[in-house]
Amino acid sequence: MRQILVFITRVREGNLTPSISVISSSSSSSVKQNQQIEVRVRAYYNKGVTKNIQVNMGEIQKAAWEKEEEKEEAEAEVEIWKLVFGFVEVAAVKCAIELGIADAIESHGSPMTLSEISSILKCDPSLLNRIMRFLMHRKIFKSVPTSHGNLAYAQTPLSRRLLRNDERSMAAPILWHYSPPMLAPWHALSARVLANGNPPFENIHGEDLWNFVAQNHDYNNLFNEIMECDVRLVMPAFIKGYSEVFNGVSTLVDVGGGNGITLRFLTEAFPWIQGINFDLPHVIAVAPKCDRVEHVAGDMFQSVPKADAIFLKWILHDWGDEECIQILKKCREGIPKENGKVIILDHVMEDGGFKDVGLIMDMVMMAHTNSGKERTLKEWEYVIKTAGFSSYNVKSIHAVQSVIVAFY
């Protein structure tokens, strides 16, 4: 007889009918639902004597299902409340960035008390206390005791990401994505998903993201900060994880290179490379001078400067397949047939440690661009092969992006 182990919380006097709360069984799926089976039950009854009793398998399964349903309902209740107030966490973090809390503690050089922070930042102490209490609960800041027995606020690896001028700062992306113009398109996301829906950003602002940035000085500066932030985070991982991709490359074009910070990283790491920073005229007009980097204005849909290799970092995800194919064809025209390559640094939507980021970025593309999207490996293969490239390879690095190299 198959043995089923049943944990019983209480046993009725006399007939030993079990009242079951938790069940663990072995191979119970092979037992019919309503089959009466004999179960050995060790109950704290009559000095712990083990007795054989009859248990209805259907009742056991029903009890298990009910317990599982209760657990799922409880978890759903917690998760839905997180969604209802999901904006609160980022709003508090944005508040901390705008007030300069992390910057104040960093400048002070040691943990600061509430009164010290509120005095320097000219904040209401009681309101600041509530903000700090929340941020400590989220482990963004931490508290440490002072020599006088008071509490002081100290930095954490998370809070240092809120510094405005730190190498690993993420302040600019937070300020960008949670600014009113960038939040507004999300309210039109459902309209975008409907058949023939208009792109949310253009529908609300009357122009696409790129024209909006070009016409708004403050947002253009913030966008450049975001690009610099991404470069500081991803380029060290890229250089460490795939430096050999630049072997034999003496000239390199960075398409959509912004102010040239990516090429500054690359030309410092690989001194033999001469860089060409290629972007729209209004971007190139304010790009700072850099050794071994030439700034060239133009339109990647029309032509791309010639070089041994062409670099595209987080460019193609802003565009649909047709536009990507057009851009890649222009890039292919700019590289030599022998050993020419296009180096793409972008998301590959496959299972992995950064999968959540890719899924989130895909939603951002839907809200903020007309046709952009994150792509699976199969979708990348489609645009690369359709653009005429003979082959390609993909390499993962310790970053949210992967490296895709397409060969002429």
Phi, psi of 390 (to 5 degrees): -75, -35
Closest CA to 240 of 271, 261, 273, 270: 270
Residues 28-66 as b/e (b if ≥16 CB within 10 A, e otherwise) read beebeeeeebebebebebeeeeeeebebebeebbebbee
Tokens of 170: 């993420």
Q: Is 306 exposed, middle or buried (0-12, 13-18, 19+ CB in 10 A)?
A: middle
Amino acid identity, residue 65?
W
Are 55 and 18 spatial neighbours (Cβ–Cβ below 8 Å)?
yes
Please give the C-alpha separations between residue 381 and each of 54, 75, 109, 345, 388, in angstroms, as whole numbers: 61, 40, 50, 14, 11
Q: What is the CB neighbour count within 10 angstroms for residue 68?
A: 10
Q: What is the CB neighbour count within 10 angstroms for residue 91?
A: 13
DSSP H helical ranges for 206-354:
209-215, 217-242, 261-269, 281-284, 321-333
Residue numbers annotated as active site: 317
Amino acid identity, residue 160?
R
Which pairs count as long-range contacts for 243-248, CB under 8 Å and 24+ apart, including other chains? 243/269, 243/270, 245/341, 245/343, 245/403, 245/405, 246/270, 246/273, 246/309, 248/308, 248/339
